[in-house]
Amino acid sequence: MSANTFFTLQEAQQFCGVARFNRYMRDANNDLGTAMLICKSNHELAGILHEQIGYVEICVRNSIDLELRKLALKEKQNEEWTNPLYTPDLVKDLIENQIKQAREIAVHSHDGRSVNHDDILSKLMWGTWVKLVGSSETKNSNRIQQKLWKDAVGNAFPFVNCSKMNKEYDEDRRIIAKNLIYIKEIRNKAAHFDNLYNIARGKRNLTNALFTLL
């Protein structure tokens, strides 16, 4: 039974949204049945991607958190770096707004009750870690990330490069940055109902990126 047995074009557009479903129609050369099959497979793949990326995000988050706790303890004498009183200076320069937003979300989800560091940490997004690590290039615009990488964040990824000589350069940070940004782009595509066909074809690239971060 074909997919268009169940939906007319108008019903599919109403369900998915006109702009979103029209992406599938363009990819399917305006064949409704093919567009519905693409839509269905996209939703299934998006679910898998969100689950697997979510596991990796937890690992990345917890590893970076551990190092930022150490930095906050050293710099501010308290490891709760999401507390504005104890946020290390470089971290504040980069993600002060993200921490504030995460705190607001955490407080709202706790009905106004007091929240702790772990509550706030759990509300930080993938983009927070991208921001902390910076772009995949070495340039003046990400010199804060370069400094933070050397001081703390780089210790969260101790096996990215086995050569100790490269620790004096920015190569390790660029490798992690490239993979963080790549995964963020894929996650956004899945969330926005883009056609994930190329992602499915390039699953080896996705797998390599996830395991590089792990």
pLDDT in tens, 18-67: 888 888 899 899 999 999 988 888 889 889 898 999 999 999 999 999 99
Q: Does the pLDDT at position 1 exceed 50?
A: no
Q: Predicted confidence band at 166 (pLDDT cuts at 50, 70, 90)?
A: low
Query: What's the angle, vertex CA 141, arms to CA 187 and CA 84, rounded to 5?
Result: 75
pTM: predicted TM-score of the whole model, two decimal places: 0.83
Report in angstroms the alpha-carbon separations of 165 from 67, 162, 172: 22, 9, 11
Q: Predicted confidence band at 203 (pLDDT cuts at 50, 70, 90)?
A: confident
